[in-house]
């Protein structure tokens, strides 16, 4: 997997946060900052100056600057030419550390901008890595409503007009919090975590058939909204009819999963029919999932109790 961010986008978003100024001319701004997790060509988005394991953003700190300045001019040139064989796109010097002018000119000739930060070594690298980890994370848009129920990120899916937004409105009125309606942006923020949030245009709004678009913040207050939440559970709403009424799991011991961004998440299929209190059922599904996380499985408990009853009856008849 390889993802990227153009240098001018990086500067527009993070120049102020990282306290950056140009030391070189403003060259190569359309080049891309990248990270790669490909087995044969793995590299980080940002790291200290290292000609063996290079990165897209090279940070020159106190030790790196001292080492470069101790070298003769031809040795500096050889060192930088070796560095340029990697995916280097930007060089950032931490507070008080500078590159020799000839090396800045060499970077300019390769269209690699050199920046100066007011942050110290570790603060600069840590902040850069943190910001890029979010900017370069894998992401995808999924159709559905995303809501926080009992601290869990619950993604409600189903066909158009099945009642996802109405269910979300009912849950919000019961004290749960809306994250996004209609489209949810999922981002794989860490190797074992997918986080869901709302596209900027849709934030605060919920479309309910018959009512139109309503502003949840205005209607219920800011506490009825959540900016983002790690995904925990998927509820798939399916209309109950004669053809599918026998397809649903009676015990709940055959939990299905759905893959989002390479991770598997438990999916509960919720039959939709007149008279069913769907908000209560979603709350129950969330509570049941919390029990599963804690190690308790109601379906397995019931099966164990049933087997014990069968064994007792068998002993009584012997």
- State whether the Cα torsion 104-62-80-85 is positive or negative: negative
Q: DSSP code of 37?
A: -
Question: Which residue among the candidates 192, 242, 250, 318 is catalytic per the annotation?
Answer: 250
Is 256 an active-site residue?
no
DSSP, residue by residue, 149-214: ETTEEEEEEESTTSSHHHHHHHHHHTT-EEEESSEEEEEEEETTEEEEE--GGGTTEEEETTTEEE
**Which residue among 37, 78, 134, 143 is the active-site one?**
143
* 276 flagged as catalytic: no
Pick the catalytic residue: 182, 258, 292, 297? 182
Neighbouring residues of 171: CB distance < 8 A, sequence distance ≥ 6: 147, 149, 279, 282, 283
CA distance 50 to 59: 9
Catalytic one among 31, 89, 121, 164? 164
Contacts of 256 by beta carbon, 8 Å cutoff, 6+ apart? 266, 267, 269
Based on the residue annotation, tell me whether 164 is a catalytic residue of this protein. yes
Catalytically active residues, by annotation = 143, 164, 182, 250
């Amino acid at each position: 997997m390889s993802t990227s961010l153009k240098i001018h986008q990086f500067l527009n978003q993070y120049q102020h946060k990282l306290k950056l100024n140009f030391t070189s001319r403003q060259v190569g701004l359309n080049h891309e900052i990248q990270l790669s997790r490909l087995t044969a060509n793995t590299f980080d988005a940002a790291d200290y100056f290292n000609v063996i394991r290079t990165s897209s953003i090279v940070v020159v700190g106190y030790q790196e600057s001292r080492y470069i300045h101790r070298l003769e001019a031809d040795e500096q040139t050889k060192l930088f030419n070796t560095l340029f064989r990697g995916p280097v796109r930007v060089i950032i010097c931490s507070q008080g550390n500078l590159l020799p002018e000839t090396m800045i000119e060499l970077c300019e000739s390769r269209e690699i901008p050199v920046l100066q930060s007011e942050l110290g070594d570790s603060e600069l690298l840590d902040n850069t890595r943190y910001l890029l980890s979010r900017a370069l994370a894998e992401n995808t848009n999924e159709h559905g409503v995303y809501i926080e129920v009992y601290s869990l990120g619950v993604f409600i899916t189903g066909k158009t007009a099945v009642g996802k937004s109405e269910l979300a409105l009912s849950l919000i009125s019961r004290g749960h919090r809306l994250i996004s309606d209609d489209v949810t942006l999922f981002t794989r923020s860490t190797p074992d975590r997918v986080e869901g949030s709302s596209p900027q245009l849709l934030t605060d709004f919920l479309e309910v058939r018959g009512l139109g678009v309503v502003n949840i913040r205005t209607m219920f207050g800011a506490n009825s909204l959540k900016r983002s939440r790690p995904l925990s559970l998927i509820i798939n709403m399916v209309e109950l009819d004669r053809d599918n009424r026998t397809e649903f799991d009676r015990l709940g011991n055959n939990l299905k999963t759905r893959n989002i961004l390479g991770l598997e998440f438990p999916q509960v299929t919720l039959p939709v029919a007149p008279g069913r209190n769907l908000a209560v059922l979603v709350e129950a599904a969330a509570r049941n999932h919390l029990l599963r996380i804690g190690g308790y499985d109601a379906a397995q408990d019931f099966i164990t109790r049933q087997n014990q009853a069968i064994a007792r009856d068998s002993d009584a008849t012997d």
